Amino acid sequence: MEATDNMHAQDHGHHHHKESFISKYVFSMDHKMISKQFLITAIVMGIVAVMLSIFFRLQLGWPGEKFQILNAFLGDKWAPDGILDRNAYLAMVTIHGTIMVFFVLTGGLSGTFANLLIPLQIGARDMASGFLNMLSYWFFAVSSVIMLASLFVEGGAASGGWTIYPPLSALPQAMPGSGMGMTLWLISMVLFVASSLLGGLNYVVTIINLRTKGMKMTRLPLTVWALFVTAILGILSFPVLVSAVVLLLMDRSMGTAFYLSDIYIQGEALDVTGGSPLLYQHLFWFLGHPEVYIVLLPALGISSEVISTNSRKPIFGYKAMIGSILAIGFLSFIVWGHHMYITGMNPFLGSVFVFTTLLIAIPSAVKAFNYITTLWQGNVRFTPAMLFSVGLVSTFVTGGLTGIILADSALDVNVHDTYFVVAHFHIVMGMSAIFGMLAGVYHWFPKMYGRMLNTKLGYAHFWLTLVCGFGVFFPMHFVGMAGAPRRYYSFSEFEFLDWVMDLNPYISIFAIVGGAAQILFLVNFFHSIFYGQKASQNPWQSNTLEWTTPVQHIHGNWPGALPEVHRWAYDYSNPEHEEDFVPQVVPLKPGEHAH
Amino acid sequence: MKLLILLVIVLAIIAIAQLTKVYELSRSLRKNKEEEISAADNKLNANLMLVWMFLFFVGTVFLYVRYGDYLPLSASAHGVDVDQLMKVNIWLITIVFFIVNFFLYFFAWKYQYKKGRKARFFAHDNRLEMLWTLVPGVVLAFIIVYGLITWNKITGPASADALQIELYSRQFDWTARYPGENKTFGAANYNLISTSNPLGLVTPDGIRAKMDELDAQIENIEHQLEENKMMPLLPESYVATLEDKVSRLKRHKQRISDLDENSVNGLSTWEAGNDDRLVKGEMHIPVNKEVELIFRSQDVIHSAYLPHFRSQMNCVPGVATRLKMTPTVTTEEMRKITGNDSFNYILLCNKVCGAAHFNMQMKVVVESEADYNAWVAKQKMFKAPEVKEASDTTLANEPKKDTVATAMGN
């Protein structure tokens, strides 16, 4: 390993030539540039997903009202007279979910921060394979473009919900969205999985092999631990999704019947027998549930780092935090059946899933309590990143608790597929992961662009987002418990829901304001890239290695030899030191105990 | 309402414009200062933590008070257990919600940055960590055991004398099927579905009628192909489609001739369906009698959601799913309880199934057994499709149009 280090160092010394625009900004193999590419792509995808959600919230808040803005954006076919078309509504819901889960919170979150932080925080010159890393981004970019393109095809984008259950998604006769749009969705997802696998393998290999001298696994920052376990989850579960998706493609275009049997549709008894629609659900959720933690763990890892740094305190229970990340990672593979309690699955099998699912609450609770204890007797500095991290703990707890209801099969029966579920996962997974991602952007922006984001705009952004986020999703619990199913175009046909539907306009207003609040972030982000205040080398007085690199990015990250690590990442306010932080590169004092 | 949105959007834009100004101003003021969070900012955010916590908690209490009685009391026997379990769980998580969020926001406020103070170096504490691993463990053990006891109680096979009703779903309506006087459902198969036999019940006449229909279609297409051989006018791709159609129709015939006749309750499953009663748009069930609902689907996955009975089950094509429940409150009684004279129990589709998914519903009526029996007796009995003579002109013409249309559609 040392030999490679030297080689890299020499490499750096001897070939310091000017790079072309293409190799620097487009087909870059530098992990820092790839990280920025992931982030910007995710931001673009995020803007689309938020706009789609505002379109369908307009319909849900004021069903049947005419909004010229819908017509302006969507045209006469999808929003004739400014009223959202029923099929277009389902397409918006589907693509909103797909983009948010996969493109923003998987590709965007892991892609950005795994790329940025893994080499910088473990003390490596770059990822193990820069080439695979570049491929990973470009698969992601192409799959993003295909997903967006699917919005513009005949029949509209995929419309069966982001879980695209067959037979609905397998039969073009079943709905317009199961035509070309669905095919593109599937192709896009295959490329997306390729991207995730290339990225994930790279992350794992890099963390195992390229840690600098002294960087034991037990000295890794929790961000790296979280990204490590996330990558392993992805490597083990995404191939199952790709199988599910490819089998579905075959059912659609090659006459196979993996998921189809005994179907009569549009006046025709289909020539397919022997398949099982439930097989798809098993395969999908075998990825689908680990996916929740693929989305969540990086956010939790980022928050561990941000909360510890800004509380000026070591993260409480470092080893317990690692243990709970591992426990959550392991358990996430044996809980997928809780999405299928009411599919006719054997009730005994259901009870096994009840048991495993509720077990996850234990490591999750440990994490939440450890965050709160980290704040206790700290010296809390409210940077925007810190605010978002505190917000994350709140959403993680609030949303996690309703998971207890959903995990309990007997209770799930009555709230399954209702707005209660929508509320649950948007808070625990949507808001938490977005908050973690934003915390990461605010915290590491100086590392990415060498400039600072504006703090005041960050504050406004946080408070508006927090209030609007809860304003949108918290009331949905009650809408769901009253029996309102999700993915309904309108609830005007059901008298028994009228009384609770008066919440819907308020939810939509919060959604619109919350969406608009993101403009603050966009302005701040893009303005600061060029005009932000110049960052100092270690603006947050943090311990981790990335803050020992020069502000101006260079290939190979450190100008001279790689730094050597002497202590863990959380020596904040260590009583044996004058300063309230002790970077990992500072050698132990004589007689000082390593933590 | 539109005015309100417009107002909100305008306000949002103004707010953003103002904030941008503040941003520019603050930027020019601190051009060359080291980025440090100012004491005033820090204090403001710390205080906002408390303000927000207050709003959050008040909002939560308001929602509980205003919307906490989310559904009227359970109309089924098992639903009472479910409601009890729900109540206990909601209480538990609500208490934890308040406690944990309180400590989070309170600590954030209390331990805000003070110049010169050093945070307490508190890296781990085995006793504390053990405590909050074990306490959630114990509470969750309780939740799991209580939940599974309830689950085992409400699932499992229905009793032998339960009343069976089949719920048949398709885009976008429900049909209820009652087994009739012989208490036995006739066999059903998707290969026999036609406009006159929407559930595909298997009867010897129905099989013959369907076979004749398929034969007519095949003959029709083969005739077309024959003509085309003599005078090739059809495009080649269309010919291929027609040939494919013929082989599909032949396989369809094959599947029908493979159907097996079974015997249930001493009756042939091909005869038992003759007194089945099919009702669209409305399902009646007797009160205080166990019902076993059997779900089938014609096309895609649907889900039968009965919120007032705390019941839900997916309807999956190719697989019959089952659910048992005992309604305990009649529609009339529930109207009195809710004080709503037009109240009706309802069955909703709760698995996205296409454009009209949001309106795929069925009225459910719970009534006394006597009323129920009287109602069932009035419902139309299933009538097997008639076997028509092959020379019948309408038969020869109708499928022709039909066939061409479907073939072109493909």
Domains and CATH numbers, chain B: 41-112+127-155 (no CATH), 164-188+273-389 (2.60.40.420)
B406 falls in which pLDDT band (50, 70, 90)? very low
Whether chain A has a CB inside 8 Å of the CB on B60: the answer is yes
For B156, the closest of A347, A377, A470 (CB atoms) is: A347
How many residue pairs bridge chain A and chain B with CB atoms within 8 Å of each other?
392
Contact between chains at A483 and B19 (C-beta distance less than 8 A): no
Residues in Cβ contact with A534 at an 8 Å cutoff, skipping those fewer than 6 apart:
A450, A451, A452, A551
Look at B45 and A516 and tell me if their CB atoms are within 8 Å: no
Each of the 595 residues of chain A gets a pLDDT tens digit; together they read 344 444 444 444 444 556 777 777 788 889 999 999 999 999 999 999 999 999 999 999 999 899 999 999 988 889 998 999 999 999 999 999 999 999 999 999 999 999 999 999 999 999 999 999 999 999 999 999 999 999 999 889 999 999 999 999 999 999 999 999 999 999 999 999 999 999 999 999 999 999 999 999 999 999 999 999 999 999 999 999 999 999 999 999 998 999 999 999 998 899 888 999 999 999 999 999 999 999 999 999 999 999 999 999 999 999 999 999 999 999 999 999 999 999 989 999 999 999 999 999 999 999 999 999 999 999 999 999 999 999 999 999 999 999 999 999 999 999 999 999 999 999 999 999 999 999 999 999 999 999 999 999 999 999 999 999 999 999 999 999 999 999 999 998 898 999 999 999 999 999 999 999 999 999 999 999 999 999 999 999 999 999 999 999 898 999 989 999 999 999 999 998 988 899 999 999 888 877 7
- Residues B322, A344: C-beta atoms closer than 8 Å: yes
CA dihedral A341, A344, A350, A354 (to 10 degrees): 10
- Ordered alpha helix ranges (H), A360-503: 361-375, 384-407, 409-415, 419-425, 432-449, 455-481
Q: What is the DSSP string of B209-242?
A: HHHHHHHHHHHHHHHHHHHHHHS--S-HHHHHHH
Q: A516 to chain B, minimum CA–CA distance in Å?
A: 7
- Is A435 inside a domain boundary? no
Q: Which one of B3, B19, B50 makes the best mutation probe of the A interface by having the most chain A beta carbons within 10 Å?
A: B19
Residue A196 forms part of a structural domain = yes
Over the Cα atoms of chain B, what is R_g?
33
Which of B241, B312, B323, B361 to mutate against chain A (most A CBs within 10 Å)?
Answer: B312
Q: Is B157 on the interface with A (CB under 8 A)?
A: no
Nearest to A411 among B2, B4, B89 (CB): B89
Amino acid at A46: G
Strands A264-265 and B291-297: unpaired
Q: Is residue A301 part of a domain?
A: no
Instruction: Note the pLDDT tens digit of each residue in B325-370.
Output: 999 999 999 999 999 999 999 999 999 999 999 999 999 999 999 9
Q: Say how far apart CA A213 and CA A484 lie, in whole Å.
A: 57
**pLDDT > 50? residue B162:** yes
**Chain-chain contact of A372 with B104 (C-beta, under 8 angstroms):** yes
Instruction: With a threshold of 0.90, tell me whether the complex ipTM lies above it.
Output: yes
Residue A277: inside a domain: no
- Nearest chain A residue to B109 by CA: give it: A380
Domain assignment of residue A549, given as a range: 534-595
Q: At what angle do helices A68-78 and A31-61 cross, to 10 degrees?
A: 90
User: Which one of A207, A242, A260 terminates a domain?
Assistant: A207
pTM of the model: 0.91
Which segments of B30-76 does DSSP mark as H helices, in order?
39-67
Nearest to A171 by CA among A287, A261, A283, A284: A261
* Number of Cβ within a 10 Å radius of residue A72: 10
Q: Which residue among A359, A377, A460 sits closest to B120, beta carbon to beta carbon?
A: A377
* B402 interfaces chain A, CB cutoff of 8 Å: yes
Is the model's pLDDT at B16 over the cut of 80?
no
- Rounded to the nearest angstrom, the minimum Cα separation between A117 and chain B is 22
CA angle A568, A573, A579 (to 5 degrees): 100
Residue B105 touches partner A, C-beta closer than 8 Å: yes
In a domain, A250, yes or no: no
Helix, strand, coil percentages (3-state) for chain A, rounded to 5, are 70, 0, 30
Q: Alpha-carbon distance A230 to A297, whole Å?
A: 6
* pLDDT recorded at residue A1: 39
Outline where DSSP puts E strands in B311-375: 311-315, 321-325, 345-349, 361-367
Residue B150 distance to chain A (closest CA, Å): 7
Mutation target for A interface from B28, B83, B107: give the one with most A CBs within 10 A: B107
Residues 6+ apart with CB under 8 A from B135: none
Cβ contacts of B246 within 8 Å, gap of 6 or more? B218, B221, B222, B225
Q: Does residue A67 fall inside a structural domain?
A: yes
The C-alpha atoms of residue B180 and residue B165 are separated, in whole angstroms, by 10
CB A166 within 8 A of CB A103: no
Domain count, chain A: 2
pLDDT for res A22: 77
Interface-testing mutation among B1, B148, B214, B337, with chain A (most A C-beta atoms within 10 A): B148
Chain A contacts of B130, Cβ < 8 Å? none
CA B382 to chain centre: 28
- Decide: A116 and A221 in contact? Cβ < 8 Å: no
Which of A382, A481, A523 has its CB closest to that of B70? Answer: A481
Indicate the residue of A382, A456, A485 with minimum beta-carbon distance to B42: A382
Please indicate, yes or no, if residue A591 is contained in any of the structural domains.
Answer: yes
Question: Do residues A27 and A574 make contact, with C-beta atoms less than 8 angstroms apart?
Answer: no
A178 domain residue, yes or no: yes
Q: H or E segment at B174?
A: strand B173-178
Domain boundary residue among A207, A237, A267? A207
- Most A-contacting residue of B331, B351, B361, B363 (CB-CB within 10 A), to test interface: B351
Q: Smallest CA–CA separation between A426 and chain B, in Å?
A: 17
Q: Phi and psi for A240 in degrees, rounded to 5?
A: -70, -40
A573–B121 CB contact, under 8 Å: yes
Helix residue ranges per DSSP H, A99-151: 109-122, 130-149
CA–CA distance, A299 with A325 (Å, rounded to integer): 12
Chain B residues whose beta carbon lies within 8 Å of the beta carbon of residue A399: none
CA distance B191 to chain A (A): 6
Q: Would you call B3 an interface residue with chain A, using a CB distance cutoff of 8 Å? A: no
From A154, A176, A207, the end of a domain falls on: A207
